[in-house]
Structure 1
């Protein structure tokens, strides 16, 4: 991901090129529809973009699912045919799901 130069980003904020494009698209869309663009929604979007991710949420459901999928994949043998491997993976995922969330 390439960072855009602060001089060329929205209000000189340290945004990535993708974030800057999203902000500019929001403004263009609001302007095209004749609506004000400097809204609380834009402020919230910028605040979210500028805040670092919260590491306290490391055990989110997505992380748990990803970890379970990795454990299930580790149980597969490369010599298995694709159908057998798929069945084994599904069984391993069901087993992981029965264990419940990690605490």
Structure 2
């Protein structure tokens, strides 16, 4: 994958996270603050815990740090998958965000 292709897929994933936070805040009482700085998004929950998602351009990966640990995702042509267990990025984000917020929160890729 070229660097340009990586950036296209990675930016689409970050945009999906931002839009999901907006939807979650509109549709639920979960208060998820999302702040983006360049290729990094920080999600802060009401209990002040955070999830940090950032682009690792040299490795063509997306990294996520949550209370559950640190995770690295690579694009496989269809979706972002964990480099260790091949789990999908948005399902992992949904699981970790739900754990940290105490509510069921759903994140999904853009169509």
Normalising by the smaller structure, the TM-score range is under 0.3
More strand by share: 2
More helix by share: 1
Higher relative contact order (CA 8 A, sep 6+): 2
TM-score, normalization by structure 1: 0.28
TM-score, normalization by structure 2: 0.26
